[in-house]
Structure 1
Amino acid sequence: MSPEQCRAARAWLNWSQEELAAKANVSSSTLRDFEARRRIPIANNRAAIQGVLEEAGIEFLFMEGEPLGLCWRSTRAKKPNNVEVTKRRRVRAGQLSKS
């Protein structure tokens, strides 16, 4: 998961950095620094952040090991109550989708 994918996933879920950090049980500074590309969290923290986002219905996309974007998991995945999904969207790392 790249910092851009993390920010995009958090935006889709309408979560603040503090909310995601609390859900992943990592410090706010760890998440803030990761999203700003100031440092890479230790493996446990990075896995915890990604795991929380995946549990919320986010799927991270990669091509040949490089981050490509993200999408909602299949409709079978449980979506959070505060998120309404009208169609499947993909966002490339570093870009925002207006569709």
Structure 2
Amino acid sequence: MSGSDEGEAGGRSPNTMTSAQCRAGRALIGWSVEDLAAKVGFDAALVRDFEGGLNDPPSGTIEALRSALTTGGVIFTDGGSAGVRLGRQGGDEGTRLGELNTENDR
């Protein structure tokens, strides 16, 4: 079977992020546009344009921004409408798939 059946209701992928979620997530953890851009190695103008609705970056770009915010402590929610909330800051991403072994697969 091709494709993925892991999307959320409404056809949205669980790894998408709206521009409003990006702005709100930054605000929750006190990051500037420049802070977020530096975390992922992007130009601040890209983040500013995305948050302002001026561009539609590739999904990989949005996923990188979302990942940085998640690592910073932002939790993305979708209980009927997309949102964010503050989790613990400096969150642990866990063990990456390629690094699993019998000792850390618990």
- Relative to the length of structure 2, the TM-score reads 0.63
Indicate if the aligned counterparts of 2:29 and 2:73 stay in contact, CA closer than 8 A.
no
Count matched residues: 74
Equivalent runs, 1:3-82 vs 2, <5 Å: 3-63=19-79, 66-67=81-82, 69-73=83-87, 77=88, 79-80=89-90
Bigger Rg over Cα: 2
- Identity in percent: 32
- The alignment partner of 2:64 has SS state of helix
- Relative to the length of structure 1, the TM-score reads 0.67
CA RMSD of aligned residues (A): 1.5
Structure 1 unmatched runs, 5+: 81-99
Structure 2 unmatched runs, 5+: 1-16, 91-106
| Structure richer in strand, relative to its length | 1
What is the identity, as a one-letter code, of the residue corresponding to 1:51? S
Structure with bigger RCO (C-alpha 8 Å, 6+ apart): 1
